[in-house]
């Protein structure tokens, strides 16, 4: 995804999450392009991506609507997703794991490792991290060896921010985002290791914690007061 498209997506998503664009607001390629000062192509791609995460819904005909859902509802859905992802990781540890699934987990970790080792990250890195994160989470959910777990996840997957591997970065604080990514990357390594070791209890505990971190880690690592306890990584090596 080009830089203009990435920034349009990130900025539009933040405006919705912050409530600047309220629930029930109608959005279209034209209105988003005018609002963000971009052409219709990045606006179109941003809207399509946001629909996938459940923040907006497609209207009959043309356009989208910002979904009406409370922060409390979102937290409940994410908590439920965490339970299911933890169960999937435990099942994967107990069951025979295909070579393809293990290869996909390794590929995801390699992608995120290359990003968190950088001194500073870009919007391109954020996009790559999102793809790698989605690959990791979808692999565990759909290759866990228990078909009832993804069936249980199906009814909630279109709720806001409930999509597997959803990452909500702040494009203005990429140094702090890198720290949050580093924590997520470390948890991926632990979960993958537990799966290989057939340690179902550890895989479940770490995966559930990791899945539930959407809001809490954003507050800790990228929140308003993070500068008080999280050092900048702009000069890290």
Summarize pLDDT for 90-128 with one digit per residue, the tens: 999 999 989 999 999 999 999 999 999 998 888 889 889
Question: Distance between CA atoms of 39 and 200, rounded to whole angstroms?
Answer: 49
Give the strand pairing for 64-66 and 56-58. Answer: antiparallel
pLDDT tens digit at each of 237 positions of the chain: 567 787 888 888 878 877 788 888 999 999 999 999 999 999 999 999 888 777 888 888 889 999 877 777 778 888 899 999 999 999 999 999 899 999 999 999 999 999 999 988 888 898 899 899 999 999 999 999 999 999 999 888 877 778 898 776 666 778 788 888 999 999 999 999 999 999 999 999 999 999 887 666 555 444 443 333 223 322 332
pTM comes to 0.71
**pLDDT (tens digit, 9 = 90+) per residue, 12-34?**
887 887 778 888 899 999 999 99
Strands of 56-58's sheet in order across? 26-27, 64-66, 56-58
**Residue 34, phi-psi category: left (phi > 0), alpha (psi -120 to 50), beta (remainder):** alpha
Q: What is the largest CA-CA distance in the chain?
A: 53
């Amino acid at each position: 995804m080009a830089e203009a498209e990435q920034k349009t997506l990130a900025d539009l998503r933040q405006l919705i999450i912050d409530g600047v664009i309220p629930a029930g607001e109608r959005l279209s390629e034209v209105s988003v392009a005018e609002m963000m000062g971009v052409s219709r192509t990045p606006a179109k791609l941003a809207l399509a991506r946001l629909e996938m995460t459940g923040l907006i819904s497609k209207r009959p005909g043309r356009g989208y609507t910002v979904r009406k859902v409370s922060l409390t509802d979102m937290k409940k859905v994410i908590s439920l997703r965490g339970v299911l992802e933890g169960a999937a990781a435990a099942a994967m540890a107990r069951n025979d794991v295909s070579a393809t699934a293990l290869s996909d987990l390794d590929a995801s970790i390699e992608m995120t490792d290359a990003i968190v080792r950088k001194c500073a990250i870009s919007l391109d890195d954020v996009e790559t991290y999102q793809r790698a994160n989605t690959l990791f989470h979808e692999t565990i959910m759909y290759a866990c060896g228990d078909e009832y777990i993804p069936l249980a996840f199906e009814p909630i997957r279109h709720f806001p921010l409930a999509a597997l591997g959803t990452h909500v970065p702040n494009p203005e604080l990429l140094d702090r985002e890198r720290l949050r990514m580093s924590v997520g990357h470390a948890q991926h390594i632990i979960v993958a290791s537990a799966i290989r070791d057939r340690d179902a209890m550890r895989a479940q505990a770490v995966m559930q914690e990791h899945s539930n971190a959407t809001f809490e880690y954003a507050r800790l690592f990228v929140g308003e007061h993070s500068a008080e306890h999280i050092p900048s990584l702009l000069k890290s090596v």
